[in-house]
Amino acid sequence: MAEVKSDIEIARGASKKAIQEVGAKIGIPSGDLLPYGHDKAKVSASFIKSVQGKENGRLILVTAINPTPAGEGKTTTTVGLGDGLNRIGKKAVVCIREASLGPNFGMKGGAAGGGYAQVVPMDDMNLHFTGDFHAITSAHNLLSALIDNHIYWGNELAIDTRRVAWRRVMDMNDRALRQIVVSLGGVANGYPREAGFDITVASEVMAILCLARDLKDLEQRLGDIIIAYRRDKSPVFARDLKAHRPMAVLLKDAIQPNLVQTLENNPAFVHGGPFANIAHGCNSVMATSTALKLADYVVTEAGFGADLGAEKFFDIKCRKAGLKPAAAVIVATVRALKMNGGVKKEDLGTENVEAVKKGCANLGRHIENVKQFGVPAVVGINHFHSDTEAEIQAVKDYVASMGEEAILCRHWAQGSAGIEELAHKVVQLAESGAAQFAPLYPDELGLFDKIDTIVKRIYRGSEATADKSVRDQLKQWEAQGYGHLPVCMAKTQYSFSTDPNLRGAPTGHSVPVREVRLSAGAGFVVAICGEIMTMPGLPSKPSSENIYLNENGDIEGLS
Amino acid sequence: MAEVKSDIEIARGASKKAIQEVGAKIGIPSGDLLPYGHDKAKVSASFIKSVQGKENGRLILVTAINPTPAGEGKTTTTVGLGDGLNRIGKKAVVCIREASLGPNFGMKGGAAGGGYAQVVPMDDMNLHFTGDFHAITSAHNLLSALIDNHIYWGNELAIDTRRVAWRRVMDMNDRALRQIVVSLGGVANGYPREAGFDITVASEVMAILCLARDLKDLEQRLGDIIIAYRRDKSPVFARDLKAHRPMAVLLKDAIQPNLVQTLENNPAFVHGGPFANIAHGCNSVMATSTALKLADYVVTEAGFGADLGAEKFFDIKCRKAGLKPAAAVIVATVRALKMNGGVKKEDLGTENVEAVKKGCANLGRHIENVKQFGVPAVVGINHFHSDTEAEIQAVKDYVASMGEEAILCRHWAQGSAGIEELAHKVVQLAESGAAQFAPLYPDELGLFDKIDTIVKRIYRGSEATADKSVRDQLKQWEAQGYGHLPVCMAKTQYSFSTDPNLRGAPTGHSVPVREVRLSAGAGFVVAICGEIMTMPGLPSKPSSENIYLNENGDIEGLS
């Protein structure tokens, strides 16, 4: 077996093309690329406007089974499939999310794919990239500062200081900031109150940036953010503080999609990165919509497994942006299926066909779910060197028994050469015209009924439950005109249920909605089922200890 | 009189050249320019290394009288003089500081010059620019998170949690964050303690970035940061948390100087922006040193008036970086001299020659002070349309009576054409070889004696005073090996004394040192004399309310 290189070594060895050359492949003139270094660029607003009349290419969603510690390789497959489609003669663009900087110093690996299916420059992408997340942090915290400043100077808007709904954000894993008291120190510093920080990707500004159609829409949505409530429970908006306009100024570059390239020099848009629990977990509408105007195929991914990620992609992003996916790829690995079949992580190296078969129940559920949206699906088995023939065949047989196809992919080790078969299958599905996309529920359904529909039809639970206070809150929002919004489920990504240890394909569980939040700017109601962490902490041995510049000035320790 | 355009209108109308063309003027190949858009670029580390063998050009400092609400135009004069030197045939580069984003949303105007002596793109420069300050914020807060994380996981280093010296930073005016309690919420979030945020420009990381010679030196200095003390008062360093290496990774691009251009397409380095009170208030050593290798003349500025800014420029930056300034320009305006002479702001429009003469005492003091460092000086009178002939003549006569020259400059209205005379005079001074630069005090002098020297020789006070605890602290640092460091005075910028209302040229005042802080990474001891605000607040009508994108997508309201 050949020497196995680390992701960062492969990325560093990439033969990158000038970003202008990459842009030219999909017809972007170099004057419309705002360069950030020689290998990253933002696409100009005027160019995006100029292509609006063009026909759309075909949109392919890459989703996955429920994630496990074994890893599934959803981003890797997204990138690999993009390269594979280009290899078989289709003009294809990959659309993925940007990585959050903070978690890299904790324990998370990078978010640029892996092996020979990566987007580069991976080190920049895992650090400051083109500054989008910093801009979101600034815009978010400007609003936070304006709120406390407004209270400080007399609180003309009669904000109930116990009901400030807007926290602060930082792109760092810092548990000490989760719950704090601000404005201590006497009259010069203001009015002490409880507050806290979330990580930047959890900001509603991030969700807004990713759902906005253009800068004007962005400004409008920023104005719609509810920052607090008055004593009479009436909402106070960001617009009331005149905050939406300077926030849009801070975001004017961040909203433009970022163009980079795969290891095989194919174009990739990497733009936006909202949380996949309290937000919808997809890259930006601006990037996806623009890519569809420029390519035959756009391959994109959604966060977590298909129960959360694909559902939100369909019910929030596609619904709101008018996108019509042509096909979906559900990524699975033998190892992850084995974990879903009850195998412990330390035993994954041993062949266990029975466990694979058992774990396939999870995969089968996701196949059924994706098809509920009218989107044809194929399974991509992301190959790992320890997979045995018998295990792989078990997956193929299971999927065949459902009337669908599972295709083994070796893009991690071989790049596009290892994923040709899947690429051909995706083209066949997409060009068959089989897709009849429709969201799961209509806008008109009541908010709680929307949640209940997802619980029953996607999670296969018995019902959604909630205290009267939660149901009353939903009714109040309906009365205030927010009833037409889709719901955004915040639930563990590890199970169809709310118990992260309940792998496979459970049924009959009830799903308690603990809390609901209104993201009026982003345009969805968040239903929180279980504990959701919006500010991660660092482990006892943070990965920061191994991140450094080597003697050549190259970064080591980012993976 | 012609229509008077606003700074942002003039900046927007600029005929900018591609940044590669600007770089070519001073011999930077386009491959060594890392572009950020078409009008900003960072200079590569390898290029900077390649020019180290070259001879230095001449370094010109632009400083000023004590600032007043009337405005002096120090940056405007720096930029104008750079253009003026280019106009008379010298290859000149301007080196100024980057602007902080946060204060733009409060009440501060931009920091890119004014009128027809500006650096562009001024809107970018007042917003995210090339992301340097965001990188500094991230690096600073990574260290903060690692400190609380270390305590959370058992505090192996035995940090005294009452003596954590490292706060957090944000580039925003947010008074609510000045004094906070973190880690509330029980065992999962850690150990509650008092903490707080400063604005990013007050970060020691900012001072370090600006004083570092290269990336290696940066990493070393980051490791030297004292983050806390143990119960036995021994210091705990950033190095002990292995934080310096990932911090350097976060700063690897930020440390490279940024190249932009003046309205007249001359090169300008805009890099770094440390506070001028608790830090030294100059642009980066990397930028200044690189510019000196590429140009005949480098025009740079220091923060506040010459008592604080020039003193620190000479005693900290020049001392540590081995720079030898060839001449200094002291900027004054008739209006500011009148305020120093006792006139109220609302009466500045009325001719008052006597007040000008009285206010000249302030100017005279600064002339004497600059000459104490062995640097020849000339006064630049930054013209304002309401200045009368008699008032201007009064300044010229006063300066002539001191054996020096004051030259009227009209660069604000006329660009380089208005500042030719000053440019010729600067060349004459610099080429005369009159400069015999030496810092005010030797490294070997005791820390308190260094403070006392500055008080007596620069502020013309009777003495520095301090409680025993302050003097003991200084002695302890001397015992720990920090006695050779220069001191960095944090004092009101409005007066030679510690009373901001005491304008003119007071003598005999004592200067109480309230507190001392050790910036072991940056390499100076801060002496705090009076109230120093390291996190500004927003006014009741923040300027954010007037900052917006107009129908063309241009930014309005930044000035």
Instruction: Quote the percentage of chain B above a pLDDT of 90.
Output: 92
d(C-alpha B548, C-alpha B15), whole Å? 23
Q: What average pLDDT does this structure show over A61-70?
A: 91
At B108, is the pLDDT very low, low, confident or very high (cuts 50, 70, 90)? low
pLDDT of residue B1: 43
Q: What is the residue-averaged pLDDT of chain B?
A: 95
Residue B22 near residue B265, CB atoms below 8 Å = yes
Cis-peptide, bond into residue A376, ω within 30° of zero? no
- DSSP conformation letters of B49-76: HHTTTSPP-EEEEEEES---TT---HHH
Residue B110 has pLDDT above 90, yes or no: no
Closest residue by Cα to residue B144 from A544, A138, A201? A544
- The reply to whether A130 sits in an annotated binding site is no
Verify whether the Cβ–Cβ distance A189 to B174 is below 8 Å. Answer: no
| Ranges assigned E (strand) in A333-426 | 377-382, 406-409
Residue B266 has pLDDT above 60, yes or no: yes
- A127 → closest Cβ in B171, B182, B250: B250
Residue B180 near residue B289, CB atoms below 8 Å = no
Residue A68 has pLDDT above 90, yes or no: no
pLDDT of residue A1: 43
- CB crowding A464-490: b at 16 or more within 10 Å, else e: bbbeeebbebbeebbeeebbebbbbbb
Q: What is the residue-averaged pLDDT of chain A?
A: 95
DSSP state of B265: S
Three-state SS string across A59-112, please?
A: EEEEEECCCCCCCCCHHHHHHHHHHHHHHCCCCEEEEECCCCCHHHHCCCCCCC
Q: What tokens appear for A401 in the block?
A: 């028994």
Q: Could you give the C-alpha distances from A274 to A99, A103, A118, A280, B359, in angstroms and in order? A: 10, 14, 21, 7, 57
Nearest-CA distance from B181 to chain A in Å? Answer: 5
d(C-alpha A465, C-alpha A516), whole Å? 12
DSSP state of B162: G
Which DSSP helix (H) or strand (E) runs through B268?
Answer: strand B267-270
Verify whether the Cβ–Cβ distance A180 to B175 is below 8 Å. Answer: no
Verify whether the Cβ–Cβ distance B242 to A152 is below 8 Å. Answer: no
Collapse the DSSP code of A181 into the 3-class scheme (helix H, G, I; strand E, B; otherwise coil) and give the result.
strand
| Active-site residue (options: B105, B166, B304, B313) | B304
d(C-alpha B91, C-alpha B305), whole Å? 27
At A70, is the pLDDT very low, low, confident or very high (cuts 50, 70, 90)? confident
Which residues of A fall within a CB distance of 8 Å from B108? none
pLDDT of residue B30: 94
- Do β-strands B58-64 and B297-301 pair in parallel, antiparallel, or remain unpaired? parallel
d(C-alpha B58, C-alpha B295), whole Å? 8
pLDDT in tens, B33-48: 999 999 999 999 999 9
| Active-site residue (options: A237, A412, A477, A496) | A412
The answer to whether the pTM exceeds 0.95 is: yes
Which residues of B fall within a CB distance of 8 Å from A176? 145, 148-149, 152, 182-183, 189-190, 195
Does the annotation count A77 as an active-site position? no
Does the annotation count A465 as an active-site position? no
Cis-peptide, bond into residue B486, ω within 30° of zero? no
Verify whether the Cβ–Cβ distance A537 to B152 is below 8 Å. Answer: yes
Q: Could you give the C-alpha distances from A518 to A221, A226, A428, A525, B518, in angstroms and in order? A: 13, 8, 41, 5, 47
d(C-alpha B273, C-alpha B137), whole Å? 13
Dihedral sign for Cα atoms in the order B389, B395, B401, B404: negative
Q: Which domains does chain A have, with CATH numbers?
A: 7-130+254-432 (3.40.50.300), 132-249 (3.30.1510.10), 447-528 (3.10.410.10)
pLDDT of residue A459: 97
pLDDT in tens, A351-396: 999 999 999 999 999 999 999 999 999 999 999 999 999 999 999 9
pLDDT of residue A48: 97
Verify whether the Cβ–Cβ distance B252 to A35 is below 8 Å. Answer: no
Verify whether the Cβ–Cβ distance B184 to A185 is below 8 Å. Answer: no
d(C-alpha A83, C-alpha A89), whole Å? 10
H helices within A373-466, ranges in order? 389-401, 411-414, 420-431, 447-457
Q: What average pLDDT does this structure show over A498-514?
A: 93
C-beta atoms surrounding A46 within 10 Å: 10
**Residue among B133, B245, B546 with most chain A CBs within 10 A, to mutate:** B245
Q: Provide CB contacts within 8 A for B185, sequence distance 6+.
A: A178, A179
Which residue of chain A is at minimal alpha-carbon distance from B31? A38
DSSP state of A302: B
- The reply to whether A69 sits in an annotated binding site is yes
Which residue of chain B is at minimal alpha-carbon distance from A103? B142
- The reply to whether A53 sits in an annotated binding site is no
pLDDT of residue B68: 87
Nearest-CA distance from A378 to chain B in Å? Answer: 40
pLDDT of residue B356: 97
pLDDT of residue B7: 86
- CB crowding A299-312: b at 16 or more within 10 Å, else e: bbbbbbbbbbbbbb
Verify whether the Cβ–Cβ distance B249 to A549 is below 8 Å. Answer: yes
Closest residue by Cα to residue B246 from B201, B212, B205? B205
Instruction: Quote the percentage of chain A above a pLDDT of 70.
Output: 99
- A184 → closest Cβ in B105, B141, B179: B179
- The reply to whether B69 sits in an annotated binding site is yes
Q: What tokens appear for B304 in the block?
A: 């506040």
Nearest-CA distance from A218 to chain B in Å? Answer: 12
**Residue among B19, B138, B187, B252 with most chain A CBs within 10 A, to mutate:** B138
Alpha carbon dihedral B329, B332, B333, B335, in 10-degree steps, equals 170
Residue A108 has pLDDT above 70, yes or no: no
| Active-site residue (options: B108, B163, B475, B517) | B108
Closest residue by Cα to residue B99 from B71, B72, B120, B68? B120
Q: How many CB pairs under 8 A join A and B?
A: 207
Residue B377 has pLDDT above 80, yes or no: yes
* Cα A387 from chain centre: 28
Q: What average pLDDT does this structure show over A133-142?
A: 98
Q: What average pLDDT does this structure show over B115-121?
A: 95
pLDDT of residue A38: 95
- B246 → closest Cβ in A105, A248, A553: A105
Q: What average pLDDT does this structure show over A63-78?
A: 91
Q: What average pLDDT does this structure show over A173-198?
A: 95
Residue B246 near residue A547, CB atoms below 8 Å = yes
What is the interface pTM, i.e. ipTM, of the complex?
Answer: 0.96
